[in-house]
Amino acid sequence: MPLHPVGNDGQMSDFSSSRYGNGMVAAAQPEAVEAGVEALRGGGNAVDAAIACGLVAGVVDPQMCGIAGFGNAQLYLPGHGIHTCVDFHGTSPAATQPDQWEHLLVGETRDGFGFLVEGNVNDVGYQSITTPGSLLAYYEAQTRYGRLPWADVVAPAIEWAETGFPIRPALYNWWQDGAKMGRVDTVERLRHTPAGRRIYFHEDGTLRRVGELLKNPDLAETLRRIAEGGADVFYTGEIADEIAADMVANNGLLCAEDLANYRTVWGAPLHTTYRGREVTTNQPPGGGVMVAQLMGILGNSDLAALGHNSVEYIRIVAEAMKCATADKDAHVGDPEFVDVPLEWLLSNEHTAELAERIQRGERADVARMAGESPDTTHVCVVDSDGNAVTMTHSLGMPSGVITDGLGFMYNGCMGVFEPRPGRTGSLAPGKQRFSSLCPTMVFRDGELDLIVGAPGGTQIAMGVTQVLLNAIDFEMPILDAVIAPRFSATSNAIDVCNRIPRSVTAELMADGYDVIRWPGSYAFGLVHGIAVTPNGLSGAADPGGDGMAMRA
């Protein structure tokens, strides 16, 4: 049966009369979307499709995500009475010392997504790697709640790694994008190890280009071993032994015990309400708390009356973003290490007080020491039974490290830990760092209404929140909600994409705001979503990337 991508109107003439049709997948890579759709057509459910999609994304977008990454997923399986989240953030290795980089500290990135130290040892290389959680979460979710055999779900990723895929423009452009805010540029990450130089460069040292077929037979073989042996082969088996040996040989912090001791965290989503709808998102150390707090603050203003992206609308939403960012910086971290005051952060009293300050014209202060990591991706799936999965998974700032013979790149998440001891996000053994990942669902009258999520570093919560506002306050269809121009405020500046009118930013600047215009038309998260409409499912993939939405 041929695949049918969804057009810009989100509709298809042969769409089933069922509320959910045959299901839908939206993600940032066409190859990954197709894998998810084929899983649905092969009898799988939303979990099978999401994991098949995620595994393929790790092959065809290998610096955005992969089996050595981290993330969070929200699963809604109403027929089984299941609504849960799995958190699989990377944990700092047991060898981590709280003050190991304090003497090397240079500054903090302006967006708040990481710290700069001399030699960039926290950003790239063997010491930048946290214990990966992605593969274990994929395996647990699929074997607990999926319908298909595990090996069948892994098979499409093996095929893409072995036969190769054409390098897409978004992937190549990201490789070439250069250093951002003091971080190591991507080309240097790609060439950091001999394996990376073999995979991503020609023999003469030039980077492979758009349209070239990229094959990774080492990754194909690694995935075959995982298809046969499950997650155990990676965390306690022969792959774990190979990882540990490479880390010892190159002075890495990660060790065999870190892999063997890694555990995912399953639990209830974080719940809030907005304009009569129920919004569910992830718990700390994920970014759902920021989305929930933003909903609480902004629920005190009549945003629709202000006009979409008007001067006052941007001012109010940007100030709410700054308030949520300041609260996150001060209070939100790994709940195993930090007492996160969730009840207070999300209380009506606190959010109303913040809203009153904004309405009085007060300005929040988001201090940075000095100085967007888009190295993440997302998948949304709804199946024919109304099961839904929204999953954001990432390598953070990819470490550049590829163990010879294994083919995958490790995450580089040690760079987001605070090198100064005694703070919410400070280094500690076995600790998870806050991330903005916030896979989110919206329910209306107890029925699934919308699922959404995004990559984009500190901009994820900002992008997701704006899409929610677009869909709820301005009643935009999901495609319009996703493509509408966005802005962000994760520091004392307001960053805007190039489609925000200059007449609007001129007024903000005249009012004393530091406005930074980005050259891109699409920025601040690459949001993907699926909406349940009276006419069935409608999906959207952010046009800033290469993705798509497709019905099964």
Contacts of 177 (CB under 8 A, 6+ apart): 185, 186
How far apart CA 526 and CA 271 sit, in angstroms, is: 23
Q: Is residue 163 annotated as part of the catalytic site, yes or no?
A: no
Q: Per this entry, what is the length of the chain? A: 552
**Tokens found for residue 76:** 């809604």
Q: State residue 133 phi and psi, 5-degree precision.
A: -120, -10
The answer to whether the bond into 285 is cis (omega within 30° of 0) is yes
The dihedral sign for the CA sequence 323, 325, 329, 332: positive
Q: Which helix (H) or strand (E) holds 551?
A: strand 548-551
Residues 309/498, Cβ–Cβ less than 8 Å: no
Look at strands 388-394 and 376-382 and give their pairing: antiparallel
How far apart CA 499 and CA 519 sit, in angstroms, is: 9
Identify the residue whose tokens are 């130290």. 117
Identify the residue whose tokens are 């995935």. 223
Closest to 375 (Cα-Cα) out of 211, 154, 171:
171
Residues 34/375, Cβ–Cβ less than 8 Å: no
Return the number of other C-beta atoms located less than 10 Å from residue 311's C-beta: 19
Residues 287/440, Cβ–Cβ less than 8 Å: no
Residues 552/24, Cβ–Cβ less than 8 Å: yes
Sequence letter at residue 195: A
Name 25's bridge partners. 381, 550
Contacts of 59 (CB under 8 A, 6+ apart): 31, 66, 157, 160, 161, 165, 216, 219, 223
The dihedral sign for the CA sequence 417, 423, 429, 430: negative
Contacts 24+ apart (CB under 8 A), 298-305: 298/274, 298/355, 298/465, 298/469, 299/274, 299/275, 299/351, 300/351, 300/352, 300/355, 300/356, 300/359, 301/355, 301/358, 301/359, 303/469, 303/473, 303/474, 304/473, 304/474
How far apart CA 275 and CA 533 sit, in angstroms, is: 18
For residue 39, how far is the Cα from the chain centroid? 22
The catalytic residue among 222, 376, 390, 458 is 376
How far apart CA 323 and CA 209 sit, in angstroms, is: 42
Known catalytic residues are: 376
